[in-house]
Structure 1
Amino acid sequence: MSTAIALLMTAVSPAFGSSHREAPNITESPKLDNTDVYAFRSYAPGRAGFVTLISNFQPFQEPGGGPNYFTMDPNALYEIMIDNNGDAVEDVTFQFRFQNTLQNGTGKVLTIGGKPLPIALRHIGQVTTDNDPELGERETYTLTRVTGDRRSGTAAAVTNSSGGGTSFAKPFDNVGNKTTPDYPAYAGQFIYDVTIPGCATQGRVFVGQREENFAVNLGPAFDLVNLVPIEGNIAQSQANQELIGNYNVTSLALEVPIACVTGTGNGVIGVWSSASLPQSRLLKPNPTFAAPDTQGGSFVQVSRLGMPLVNELVIGLPQKDLFNAVKPTADGALADYVTNPTFPAILQALFGSAAIAPTNFPRNDLVATFLTGIATLNQMSTVTASEMQRLNTGVTPTPQASQSPLGVVGDDLAGFPNGRRPGDDVVDIVLRVAMGRLCHPIPIAGMATQLGLCQASDAPSGLTAYTDGAPSSANATLNAFPYLNPPLRGAPRPQTQP
C-alpha cells in the first residue's frame, strides 16, 4: 500500500449518504427527512412513454420497529416539483397529504371483564387487504396536481381511475410473516391507476414502505474512512452495504405520461422534492390521537432534495438547514460551494499525491452536473443555475438488464446525472465527477468524447476509479413500478432477507 493510500486510513473524511440526516434541523423530524429522489424514463417493458418519479422519506426504518411503525406526518405537506422550461420555478407539483384514522374512533377493541377497551397495538390479526378489519389504524392520503406556483397555482385532485375517489390507502408496514404472509401481494393492492387532470393517459401511484435502495458503505466512512475507496484496493461486495438489506424507507412513487410533465420546453425536466410543516406548533398538555398539538400558519419547507449528495458533500455546515429551506431560485447564494468545492480538497488532504484535486476554477464541470445540466445531454432550453435533477425525456430508456451502474460515465445516457434510476451507483459517480472525471473524455455511443467543460490537465486524478465498495445494480430491484423492492419484514429476521 502506498504512503498516500495509507494516509487515507488514518484521516478524517465526511460521511457519504444520499440525504439521510444531512442537516442539523432535519434530524429532529425524521418523518420529514427526504432521503432519495429518483426521476427516470420508465424502463419496464411497455412503459417507455412514462416518467417515474420516486421520493423517499424516513431513513433508517428498522424493520422490527413496532408497535407504531412508520406512518407519515398528517400535518406535513409532501411535494414533488417539476420545472419544464428552465426558470428554476415549479410548473407542475404533485402534493401528498396524509391522514391516520382509528377504526370506529378507537382502534381495535377487546372486552375485558365486561369492559370494552382499545388494545395497545395497531392490529390483532392477519392484515391482507385494503381496509382490513383486523387493522385498527388506517393510513390514507390525497394526491393533488398543481399547475403553476405550488401555493397559488391551479390545484386539481388526482382521482382513482376505478370509481373516481380522491382518497388512496397506504399499506401497513411489513410487520412480519404472521401478520402478512405474502407482503408483495398485499402491497400490490395499493398500486392505483389514476386519472391526472390535464393528462389524456392514466398514470399510477403507490405510497408505502419499501426496502432502502441507497448503495453505500456508510459506517466505515464515519469511522475515519475505515476503507480504501479505490477499485483494486477494496472489493466490491454486498457485505459493504450499510443500508440495503438492513433498513426500509417510505416511498412516494408516481408514474406519469411524459406529455403531462414536459410542457412546451425541449423535453428536459427538472425534478426535486420537499416536505413542509405549518409555521407554528403549540403542544397540548392534554393531547389526543387526533390532535396531539395545534399547528397553523403558512407552510415552511424543512426538507429538500434533488441531486443526491449535494447537502452532504457540497454545502457547508452553516448553510445546510438554509439549503433545505429555500427554493432552487435562491441557489445562486450558495453557488460558491459548487464553483469552488471543498470536498476534492479534503480528498487531496487525505490521499496526498494519489488524489490531486482539480484546479479548474470555477468548476464548470460541477456547475453543469449539479446546476445547469450538460449542454449535449440534459440542459433545458432556458438555463437558470439551480440545484435539481435534470432528465432528458427524449433519451430512450435502457432496459434493466443492460443498464450501467455508472450511468453517463459508463456509456449509458439514460442514467445519472441524466435523472437517476434505482440502479445508478451515485456514490461512485459523484466521487469520480467531483475529482474531475468529466474533464477527461467519456464514452458516448462507444466513442471517447470530450465535453469541453474542462481539460484533462485540470484533473490529474480524474481517471481514478473511486468507489466505496458497495455495488449497485438495477437487476437487484423490480423491473416494474414502483421498482424499489418490497420492504424487509420485521419477523422472522433471517440473515439474508428475501
Structure 2
Amino acid sequence: MQLSFFKTAPLAAAALLAVCGIGATHASSHREAPFITTSPKVDGTDFYMFRSYETGRAAYTTLIANYMPLQDAYGGPNYFSMDPNALYEIHIDNDGDAREDLTFQFRFKNKLRDTSGKTLTVGGEEVAIPLIQFGQVSNVQDANLNLGESFTLTVVRGDRRRGNAQAVTNAANGATTFDKPVDNIGVKTIPDYAAYAGRHVYTINIPGCSAPGKVFVGQRKDPFAVNLGTIFDLVNAPVNVITNRQFANAAPNTIDDKNVTSLAIEVPTACLTQGNEPVIGGWTTASLRQARLLDPTPRAGHQTTEKTGGAWTQVSRLGMPLVNEVVIGLKDKDRFNSAKPKDDGQFLTYVTKPTLPKLLEIALGLPNIAPTNYPRLDLQTTFLTGIAGVNQPRNAVASEMLRLNTGTTPVPLASQNTLGVVGNILAGGNDMAGYPNGRRPNDDVVDISLIAMMGGLCVANGDMNTLGFGAACRPSAVPLGATAFQLHDAVDQSRATLLPGFPYLATPIGGTQ
C-alpha cells in the first residue's frame, strides 16, 4: 500500500482518525522546541536505556543519546561533526529523588591535519584543499583524513557541576582521548564503513566500576520509524487503516533515509544502581556557554568562528520520547528544555490535564473523544513516576525521565515485542523489558504512547488488573475502550534495521552506495 492511498480519506472520517496524530507527532524529539531548531548540533533526537541484550552482555546496561536530526547522507563537504563548544551529557538518577547521581560527559574536539590542513602544490604554491578527505579511509586516525574528530568522556558522581569528576580511560592503553569515525561519505572513500566504524568501539575503564564498559560515538542510521508527513497534514489517513494493526506497515517510514550521531556507552549495571534499588532513571542534555562572541575575522586553521564564556546553560533535554513535542505547551517548550527533573512540578498540569485530545475535539468538530478521568493519574504514573511493580523506584519523585528496572530480564532482538509492556499485556508474553520500562531501539514508542495517551492502559488496568493504577483509571471514562489498543501510525518500528549487539544502531547510509 502506497502513501498516496492515505490521501483518499475524508478529513472527518471518525474520531479515531484524529486521535492517531497524538502518538505520531510526539514520538521523537526532532526540532521539538523553538530555540533548538536554530542549533541542530545540540538537538537531542532520541534517548535509549535498556539492559544489554547482546549475547553474553546481560550484566550491562546500554545508554544511547542521539543528536543532530535528519542528516542527509550526501551532506558534504563538511558533513556532521559535533560541536566543540558544547557539553553533551547522559544523567542517571539511582535513588528516585529526581537528581542526577551519575553523569557521563562528552566533549569534542575537531582538528585539521598538520594544524592548517592538507595542501596540494598548485602553480608552485601550497594551497589548502576543500575536502575533509583526500584518499581512501579505513583506519583510526587514517592518514587520508584532513579533519580529525575526537572526544573525551568524564564520569561525575553527584551533582553534574559540583560532583567528583574523573576521566574515563581506554582500557587498551590508558588514553583519555578517543577518536570518532568520520561520517559515511560513500563507498569510494570508505569501502567498508561497518568495519571502519567498528574500529572505533572502545573498551573503557570507568572510575568506580569494577568491570570495564564500552563506548562508541559516531554516525548511525536513524533507527526511528514514523509517518511524519501524513500526520502533520491533519492526520491525512483512512480510519480503517490506522485502527487495524494488520496495516501497521501500510506507509513508508518518512525518515528511513536519514542518519543521526550517537553517543553510546555500555556500563556494568552494578555500577549504575545503588543499594537494593533496581530502578534507575535516565535522561540526556546538551549545554552551551552563556555568552558567545562571533569573530568577524576568523583565523585560518580554526574550526570555529566564536569565542564562548560563562556558565554552562542547558538548551536540550530528552528522557521519555514524547513530552516536549505534544504535552508541553508551546510557551514552555524552551523552558522545559532548560529545566531539571527535580523542578518538573511546574509542568505537572500538562500531563494530568493534556490539551491535545481536547484540541482535536475542537479542531475537527468531534466531541467526546478524549478520556475524562481527570486528573490523568494514569499518565502521571506511566510517564512521571514509573508503574508500580514494573519500573517505579521507592519514594519516587514525580519527574520526567526514562525509567528502567534493571532487574527485568533482557530479551534478544529477534524475540522482542515492539509494543513493550503494552504488547506483553495483550499477548500474555514474557517481555517486560520494553518501553516504558526503559526504551530499546526496536520499541514502537509511537504506538505505545498513543495507546497510553488515549487511555488504553486504563482499559488494561480495569479489564486485566495488571498495572495497579487503582482509582487513577475508570474504563468508563475512556471513550475508545479496547479500540485504543489497535491504534497505530501505519509505520512499523519492527522493520527498522538494527544490530544484535553494541552499539545496536545500524551502519549509517552512505553518500553513495
* TM-score of the pair, normalised by structure 2: 0.91
Cα displacement string for residues 131-180 of structure 1 (whole angstroms, at most 9, x for unaligned residues): 00100100000000000000010000000000000000110000100010
1:486 aligns with 2:497: no
Aligned to 1:434: 453
1:455–1:292 Cα change, 3 Å: same
Of residues 436, 442, 448, the one that matches 1:423 is: 442
Aligned-pair CA distance for 1:204: 0.2
Cα displacement string for residues 6-50 of structure 1 (whole angstroms, at most 9, x for unaligned residues): 577799967344100000000000000000000000011111100
1:223 aligns with 2:240: no
Structure 2 CA distance for aligned equivalents of residues 327 and 355 of structure 1:
35
Aligned-pair CA distance for 1:5: 2.5
Amino acid across the alignment from 2:422: V
Aligned-pair CA distance for 1:264: 2.3
Structure 2 CA distance for aligned equivalents of residues 428 and 57 of structure 1:
23
Aligned to 1:128: 138
Of residues 370, 387, 401, the one that matches 1:374 is: 387
1:57 aligns with 2:67: yes
Does the 8 Å CA contact 2:20/2:487 hold for their aligned counterparts?
no
Does the 8 Å CA contact 1:440/1:450 hold for their aligned counterparts?
no
1:385–1:12 Cα change, 3 Å: closer
Aligned to 1:78: 88
Amino acid across the alignment from 2:413: Q
Aligned to 1:180: 190
Secondary structure, aligned partner of 2:247: coil
Tell me how many residue pairs correspond in the alignment: 489
Aligned-pair CA distance for 1:402: 1.2
Aligned to 1:257: 268
1:449 aligns with 2:466: yes
Does the 8 Å CA contact 2:20/2:489 hold for their aligned counterparts?
no
Q: What stretches of structure 2 of length at least 5 have no aligned partner?
A: 1-8, 425-430
Aligned to 1:496: none
Aligned to 2:487: 466
Cα displacement string for residues 39-73 of structure 1 (whole angstroms, at most 9, x for unaligned residues): 00001111110000000000010000000000000
Aligned-pair CA distance for 1:440: 1.4
Aligned-pair CA distance for 1:348: 4.1
Secondary structure, aligned partner of 1:441: helix
Aligned to 1:363: 376
Aligned-pair CA distance for 1:400: 1.3
Aligned-pair CA distance for 1:353: 6.3
1:477 aligns with 2:498: yes
Matched ranges for 1:65-464 at <5 A: 65-228=75-238, 230-232=242-244, 235-237=247-249, 239-244=251-256, 246-264=257-275, 266-288=277-299, 289-349=302-362, 356-411=369-424, 412-441=431-460, 449-451=466-468, 452=470, 453-464=472-483
1:4–1:457 Cα change, 3 Å: farther
Aligned-pair CA distance for 1:443: 11
Of 174-183 and 107-116, deviating more is: 107-116
* TM-score of the pair, normalised by structure 1: 0.94
Following superposition, which runs of at least 4 residues in structure 1 exceed 3 angstroms of deviation? 1-4, 6-17, 346-355
Secondary structure, aligned partner of 1:424: coil
* Structure (1/2) with the larger helix percentage: 2
Measured on the aligned residues, the alpha-carbon RMSD in Å equals 2.2
Aligned-pair CA distance for 1:108: 1.6
Structure 2 CA distance for aligned equivalents of residues 11 and 340 of structure 1:
16
Aligned to 2:13: 5
Amino acid across the alignment from 2:509: L
Structure 2 CA distance for aligned equivalents of residues 431 and 7 of structure 1:
14
1:473–1:455 Cα change, 3 Å: same
Aligned-pair CA distance for 1:290: 4.0
Amino acid across the alignment from 2:504: Y
1:201–1:355 Cα change, 3 Å: farther
Structure 1 CA distance for aligned equivalents of residues 381 and 18 of structure 2:
33
Secondary structure, aligned partner of 1:55: strand
Cα displacement string for residues 246-301 of structure 1 (whole angstroms, at most 9, x for unaligned residues): 10000000000001000225110000000000000011111132441110000000
